[in-house]
Chain A
Amino acid sequence: MTDIFQLFVSGLSTGAIYALAAMGFTLLWQTSGTINFAQGEFVMLPAFIMLAAMNLMGIGLLPAFVISLAVSMLVLGLAFKRALVDPMTHHGMLPLIIATIALGIFMKEAVKTFYSAEAQPFPSLASEGAIHIGPVVISVSNIIVLAIAVIAILALQFFLQRTFTGRCMQAVAQNRETARILGVPVERMVLYTFLINAALATLAALLVTPTYLAKFDNGQSLGLIAFIAAIVGGFNQMRGALAGGLLIGLIDNFTAVYVSTQYRNALPLVLLILVILFRPQGLFGRAEERRL
């Protein structure tokens, strides 16, 4: 019973990180129709920017995070949109998918060539302490990661639901043309989602990298998980991405212990196939016809 509780907490904390990446992925899809195959690399790169900032400037993790956040929003948000997504709006979906695949390869190879091919240690946010509540032991870093991710998710939800800009963004996601007619500055709203995606990816990098170490090919598994979380939850729902992320995190932790470590990665994939088979709108999504 105590094991289950511990696994539950650590599953939620990994899942919350996955949710951050998945929510960014869903945002981009909703507002701009971009299926970002480089999403995993979008989480990998900020970790290396943080490492580089810490090593070159001799600063701590938090200032490095702020620098990485700024650089990511500039490069993975603004530059990504202007240089790659915008010129391809009229080419249809496939060229952009191919371009993001190429972008992922480019980022991976660039980090491997210019930084290191070896896994780099990454400072943890909290010490290796643990809290004892009766027989239950919960690691402090799990709690902190979970808390930060939850705060970020709540802040994003608040922004999207309660602020004027957030609601404009939702309008763009739901119906671009109507939003334009109603006077929503569509292009600027789309840009905001790109910036938010970059910020979410940087935060995910800060939280996830201490467990996995920083390595150039981290993006592969992370990107796939963000994908699966987004689709399992419901491709057209932000809340779906959140729930999908948490669910995958929990499954991940429980299968590692109770099923097999070898097939740890297989269960989310099977879940993905089953969802697409029986509930293509996602577990938490509404059935709706989307334009392609």
Chain B
Amino acid sequence: MNARTTRALALAAVIATAIIVPLGLKNYGIYLLSLWALYAIAAQGLNLTLGYAGQISLAQAAFFGVGAYISALATTSGVSFWLAVPLAGLACFSLGALIGFPALRVQHHYLAFVTLAFNVLVFLVLRNEQWLTGGTYGISGIPRPSLFGFSLGAPLAFYYLCLGLLCVMTVAFWHILRSPWGRAFAALRDNPERAASLGVSLMSYTLLAFAIGSAEAGIAGAVFAPLVEFIDPTPFTVSMSLAFLLMVVVGGQGTLTGPFIGAALVTLLPEWLRWSEGYYLMLYALAVMVLMVVCPSGLTGLARMARRRWERAQ
């Protein structure tokens, strides 16, 4: 069996598991899995910005929120969900380009600061502009969509929608990475001077990566709104952006599987560690610090390290 077949088999096994597991779960478990799929999409977007273009964004939750509000406002006023999702993606793409442009003109870490400020501003607008967003009362009664006459209202059906979207987005992401664009992203991260000397425009490619990453968060957010059926500003704060950043880095930035693992750590693990109650976040934060000291390339990096050591021992 060569490496390629092994990988294909592993992938099929993972997808099969993702399809079968929720059949035996109660509604809450299915909800968590749906949340995991959506977080994974948003984390994947951030992974493009961070892991491939090397820029720190702290506004992923804001784009996630903008997507959620666009979808909530559109669907509650009768616009089709299937139109609202691409709309949210497009809006976040433009917004990302608009914010990234000034920040990327200057230096590296400034994008982190600008996006941080942007996230707080978005939160303030969501909270204060009651006429549009409902303020702290939020928007309720967000309808779940139907597809070709099938209602996706049931938890399981909606989970499959989230999973399907995750698969589509992952395939798209993979194609972007293998396209000349994706190669340019990686080249810019690994050796900006050389990439620039070969005619890759640092500014426009980084901006593109950031805008695509933001759009992915917007799309995930647009599906998040009907998942929870009620949204208010609280899930879209800077803390959530920090959580997204941790997902990507802990999972392993610049890898395809990293965001999946990172998102699972944030959504699923707390449930299995219920006994730890208030200690969970503390343990998580402690583990992140240790991980950063030991292996800054994250859990996938740790796995690589372990495998290399094992192979050497053979």
Q: Do A and B come from one complex?
A: yes
Q: List residues of A whose CB falls within 8 A of some B CB.
A: 35, 37, 84, 87-88, 91-99, 101-103, 105-106, 109-110, 112-113, 220, 224, 227-228, 231, 262-263, 265-266, 269-270, 272-273, 276-277, 280, 290, 292
Besides A97-B56, A228-B117, 7 other CB < 8 A contacts? A98-B249, A102-B285, A220-B239, A262-B128, A269-B121, A273-B114, A277-B102
In contact, B292 and A273 (Cβ under 8 angstroms): no
Given the contacts A88-B296, A102-B289, A276 and B120 also touching, CB distance less than 8 Å:
no
B6–chain A nearest beta-carbon distance, Å: 31
A3–chain B nearest beta-carbon distance, Å: 25
Given the contacts A101-B246, A110-B282, A231 and B113 also touching, CB distance less than 8 Å:
yes
| Interface: B116 (CB within 8 A) | yes
A-B contact pairs, 29 of them (CB 8 A): A87-B293, A94-B56, A94-B253, A94-B296, A95-B292, A96-B292, A99-B288, A102-B284, A102-B286, A102-B288, A102-B289, A103-B285, A103-B289, A105-B282, A105-B284, A106-B289, A109-B278, A109-B281, A224-B120, A262-B124, A262-B127, A262-B128, A269-B120, A270-B117, A272-B113, A272-B114, A272-B117, A273-B114, A273-B117
User: 7 closest pairs, A vs B, by CB?
Assistant: A95-B296, A106-B285, A102-B288, A280-B106, A269-B117, A105-B285, A99-B292
- In angstroms, Cα B56 to Cα A37, docked, is 13
- In angstroms, Cα B295 to Cα A91, docked, is 9
In contact, B288 and A227 (Cβ under 8 angstroms): no
Contact of A91 among B106, B114, B118, B292 (CB under 8 A): B292
| Interface: B304 (CB within 8 A) | no
- In angstroms, Cα B277 to Cα A276, docked, is 41
Contact of A102 among B128, B239, B292 (CB under 8 A): B292
- In angstroms, Cα B102 to Cα A124, docked, is 43
- In angstroms, Cα B249 to Cα A138, docked, is 49
In contact, A112 and B238 (Cβ under 8 angstroms): no
In contact, A263 and B124 (Cβ under 8 angstroms): yes
- In angstroms, Cα B116 to Cα A288, docked, is 24
Q: Which A residues are in CB contact (< 8 Å) with B253?
A: 94
- In angstroms, Cα B126 to Cα A208, docked, is 28
Contact of B121 among A113, A266, A290 (CB under 8 A): A266
In contact, B293 and A88 (Cβ under 8 angstroms): yes
| Interface: B110 (CB within 8 A) | yes
A105–chain B nearest beta-carbon distance, Å: 4
> What total of chain B residues lie within 8 Å of the partner, measured CB to CB?
39
A35–chain B nearest beta-carbon distance, Å: 7
Q: Which A residues are in CB contact (< 8 Å) with B128?
A: 262-263
In contact, A292 and B108 (Cβ under 8 angstroms): yes
- In angstroms, Cα B238 to Cα A263, docked, is 17
- In angstroms, Cα B107 to Cα A90, docked, is 21
Q: Which B residues are in CB contact (< 8 Å) with A270?
A: 117, 121
Q: Which B residues are in CB contact (< 8 Å) with A101?
A: 242, 245-246
In contact, A276 and B288 (Cβ under 8 angstroms): no
- In angstroms, Cα B231 to Cα A140, docked, is 45
In contact, B124 and A266 (Cβ under 8 angstroms): yes
Given the contacts A95-B296, A102-B289, A113 and B278 also touching, CB distance less than 8 Å:
yes
Q: Which A residues are in CB contact (< 8 Å) with B289?
A: 84, 99, 102-103, 106
Given the contacts A91-B292, A220-B238, A292-B107, A113 and B282 also touching, CB distance less than 8 Å:
yes
* A-contact bits for B208-243, CB 8 A (1 contact / 0 none): 000000000000000000000000000000110010
A201–chain B nearest beta-carbon distance, Å: 19
Q: Which A residues are in CB contact (< 8 Å) with B114?
A: 272-273, 276
In contact, B107 and A280 (Cβ under 8 angstroms): yes
Q: Which B residues are in CB contact (< 8 Å) with A37?
A: 242
Cβ-closest chain A residue relative to B117: A269
Q: Which B residues are in CB contact (< 8 Å) with A224?
A: 116, 120, 238
Q: Which B residues are in CB contact (< 8 Å) with A272?
A: 113-114, 117
* A-contact bits for B99-139, CB 8 A (1 contact / 0 none): 00011001111101110111011001001100000000000
Given the contacts A269-B117, A273-B102, A280-B106, A98 and B124 also touching, CB distance less than 8 Å:
no
- In angstroms, Cα B102 to Cα A270, docked, is 13
In contact, B296 and A105 (Cβ under 8 angstroms): no
- In angstroms, Cα B272 to Cα A248, docked, is 44
In contact, B285 and A265 (Cβ under 8 angstroms): no
- In angstroms, Cα B121 to Cα A228, docked, is 13
In contact, A276 and B278 (Cβ under 8 angstroms): no
Q: Which A residues are in CB contact (< 8 Å) with B118?
A: 269, 273
In contact, A276 and B286 (Cβ under 8 angstroms): no
- In angstroms, Cα B116 to Cα A292, docked, is 19
Q: Which A residues are in CB contact (< 8 Å) with B286?
A: 102, 106
In contact, A112 and B278 (Cβ under 8 angstroms): yes
| Interface: B279 (CB within 8 A) | yes
Q: Which A residues are in CB contact (< 8 Å) with B120?
A: 224, 265-266, 269
Q: Which A residues are in CB contact (< 8 Å) with B124?
A: 262-263, 265-266
